[in-house]
Chains A and B, each alone.
Chain A
Amino acid sequence: MSATSPFIPYISLAFVLAVLPLCAGEDSGNSYEIEEIHLPRDMNPEISGVAFTPGGRLVVTNRHGDVWFTDHPSKGPWQRFAFGLHEPVGILAVSDREIYVTQRPELTRLLDTDGDGVADRYETVNDDWCMTDNWHEFTFGLHRDKKGNFLLAVGMPDMAGPFNPRYPRLPLSEIKVQKEQKPSLGSYQGWVLSISPEGKMIPVASGFRQPAGIGISPEGEVFVTDQQGDYIATSTLAHIKPGGFYGYPASLKWREDYHGPIPDIETLAAMRIPESVSLPHGALGGSPGEPIWDTTGGKFGPFEGQVFIGDFTKLISRVFLEKVAGEYQGVAFPFIRDAVGLEAIQANSGANNLTIPAGKEGLKYFRDTPPRSGTPLRPGNMRMVFSPDGSLYSGQTTRGWGKGDGLQRIVWSGRDPVEIEAIRLTKDGFDISFTTEMDAAKLAAEETWKLSRFRYLYLPGGSYRVDETDCRITSIHPAADGRMVSLKIEALDPGYIYEFEPWELVSSTGKPVENPLAFYTLNRLLDGRRFEGPLTRALLKEKPSNGEINLTAGAQVYSAFCMICHQADGRGGALPGSEASAGSGVAPLAAANFRQRGPDSPLAKSDEDLVRIVTHGPEGKPMPPFGGVLNQEQIRNVIAYLRSAFGKTEPSPEQESVK
């Protein structure tokens, strides 16, 4: 119970009126501001679904299975509409009295039949997919197409946790299609599903590893994000076609034309539909959530029609899609991100370390980007929605992988951001447009345009970047109004991701580009030509290692990838999230202690054993394999760093006394 003086609103108003003149004329601040939405104390803040009713009521759901609503997000009050759902990860509000949620076991219709603001009916709309008790089987959603069909996606189990084969919802099969680490234990894990308004389920597309975000474009096209790991070299935004296979083999066994395991990776590669847009791991997060389209009519700034994708890290990306030779492809940018760089990572120790970059090539982005002023973006941005007033709400859940849950709102301040508005493919290069007039000299300068390209391979262990080369720009033609530039490229080939890094570019008033980083996924040229080369091996030879150990590089790898669990002092301990169960009788998961000594200690193992563990992951433990994340040189460096930093034997007191 809060004791609030009735005079406080008047005092506050007086403050605001007093300071307004002081602010007049100041041209500062962010183009986009982040506001905290305060949640009631008795609401679990792990927000896993966010939506608005047609009447403008904000509705959220959370990990504990509640559904809450409010008519006034900035001040409340909130009211609980439903409870007891099993980890809902998607919500769709039809009206104040009818709400749909995707929870683990089913698509559920919640109805408030008596109008008291509380659901009294929980109707199963459909549950025609298999389910076990594995912890990692999430059912992602939720959107509706123009025909009223519900679109949702079913994720994969994770064998870091057990499942009980005695109690599945059938059918169940542990047979692998190839070498996938996440088996599709049951139908239709790894699929996108459509469910008719009458409750009939239609499997739509397969080949997903962890399709945590599903969205529908204003044109009614379905897009899904998938999360990187084995086979899925980097996270993706894919345009969904009925019957399509999108790369993760496990789910293929639930197709009607499946006849048994597929040992040949080339066969799978030929079946796979490439993503529309790659979200390069590290630079653009690690685990994307829901894609949503800006249909605010300009209320959210100059990005109408573009896609916004929240990420598990402290990042929201922006995507411009275009149709080239009949297929969607496009460019991805960071939109809002927290401070990037080694210093920022080291400042956020342990479980709070969800600051990217992390992941493949993440070290490349260790340049220190200054943090935003004002409220920082939290991690866990898995569900987002635009409100009727044009602001962007981000529901945040880290679900035990870290800390930082809640609900934030991103508001366009009305100031023009200095950003690349879009990048469009031309017949011999790219047209780059901007949100504001740019500095003419910088725009035309060759040194402004650092452009390179790379691609990922399609392999069971995942892939880091291969065939990475700088691109030679043959001509630069700025538009007269300073809002566009055309670049011609010497070798414009399909099958590559083109990376733009105009770090020195500034606007005509001298302001730097807020996010001078872009990745264009070039699947097709304008004439329809596609990549004809191998998808499972590189074309260029990797730069050979000189065999020398670099402890500094090893320390960087440790900071980026290992420290979140093993801690800065190498002592490990409870994994992020698991310490919350302390006192519940549940043993927390623990990371290895590199300071431990003795024959069973981690560093008593040989270098070869440690390389194998880091590459493939330790058996029966939750540590993921890093073989697709780090190359062998990086792994050797980090092992050398472990031995250097934590492996020295500290003399015992007895030894000290002998001395």
Chain B
Amino acid sequence: MRLLLATACLLIATSLTQGEPSANPKQRAEERYPQVFRTFMPEAGPSAFAVQLSPNLGLCYDPLRGGVNQIWKGRIDLTPTNLAKINQVAAVPETVFYEERLVQPLHLGAVDAPVERRFKGYRYEKDVVIFEYTINGHLISESLRMTSDGSSVERIFRLPKDGGEAFLSVESQSKSKVSVEGGSERSSGVWAFPAGGEIRMFIRPLDVIISHQPVKRRTSSPLAHSCS
């Protein structure tokens, strides 16, 4: 009986002190965009990236095919891949305004040079995510961000000095305007860039401007499902 009473008192005391501890906002770093999620993406290599550049602008970055597979307005849904036992691909919004399908659109040295592409990782800097990879052993960084006016996606490739001239195939788009800077168009859709230079690419939807929402502090990812 004494033990029962003691146990009951201890349980009460414990329950009063425990509650449901959640993260202390003061100790949480500011969560900001871009946000990168490696997952199963439709029509992409395994373990591609869902990148939300803002709450209303996202893209699929495919390190295997080599580039941005789609850009959409809105927010990706990771529920199918996060919850199912036999994972499904993430659900991309129907508002896709940019698509790439060409395998390995970036070549070094010659327009038809073989490409051995190896993914090296990514890093976050202010308002931008920078992917790194090698092509034939030469390091390339590719930054992705939403332009400050919220109208476009900006891709900047930083090319190696020792990789020779770079060639990028740019596919025509029906729902977006693509502009390329830093090189010259050698033939239809094929651009050349000097070694050590930059490729600057801007992709803007033709119909509506992407609503630009200020980045705000959050306590959890908008893409992660609620775990309450």
Residues of A within 8 A of B (CB): 2, 4, 8-9, 11-12, 15-16, 18-19, 22-23, 26, 28, 38, 40-45, 63-66, 75-80, 83-86, 103-106, 108-109, 116-118, 120-124, 127, 131-133, 135, 137, 160-161, 164, 167-169, 399-401, 575-578, 580-581, 584-586, 589, 622
Contacts and interface: CB of A to CB of B under 8 A. Distances in A.
Given A15-B10, A38-B20, A133-B46, 12 more contacts: A19-B10, A40-B23, A41-B228, A42-B219, A44-B224, A64-B225, A79-B29, A83-B224, A106-B119, A169-B64, A585-B91, A589-B85
Contacts, number: 204
B214 interface: no
B121 A79 contact: no
B27 A117 contact: yes
Interface stretch (B33-41, B150-158, B188-196): B33-41
B47 A105 contact: yes
A26 B5 CA distance: 13
Contact of B17 (A12, A19, A124, A400): A12
Interface in B153-207: none
A84 B5 contact: no
B44 interface: yes
Given A121-B121, A622-B86, A15 B13 contact: yes
Given A117-B29, A575-B85, A16 B10 contact: yes
A45 B227 contact: yes
Contacts of B224: 42, 44, 64, 66, 83
B217 interface: no
B77 interface: yes
A577 B85 contact: yes
A77 B227 contact: no
Given A133-B40, A581-B79, A84 B35 contact: yes
Contacts of A584: 77, 79-80, 83-84, 88, 91
Contacts of A586: 79-80, 83-84, 88
B116 to A, nearest CB: 11
B212 to A, nearest CB: 23
Contact of A2 (B20, B86, B125): B20
B20 A15 contact: no
Contacts of A169: 45-46, 64
Contacts of A578: 84-86
Chain B interface bracket (under 10, 10 to 19, 20 to 34, 35 or more): 35 or more
A121 B124 CA distance: 6
Nearest to B19: A2
B221 interface: yes
8 contacts: A12-B17, A22-B3, A44-B225, A63-B82, A83-B37, A167-B45, A167-B65, A168-B46
A42 B22 contact: yes
B2 interface: yes
Nearest to A111: B123
Given A64-B224, A133-B46, A589-B85, A122 B123 contact: yes
A105 B38 contact: yes
A116 B47 contact: no
Contacts of A105: 38, 46-47
Given A44-B227, A122-B123, A65 B47 contact: no
Given A8-B16, A105-B47, A399 B85 contact: yes
Contact of B22 (A2, A26, A164): A2
A564 B8 CA distance: 35
A104 B41 CA distance: 14
B19 A65 contact: no
A11 B16 CA distance: 9
A164 B78 CA distance: 19
Contacts of B10: 15-16, 19
A168 B124 CA distance: 27
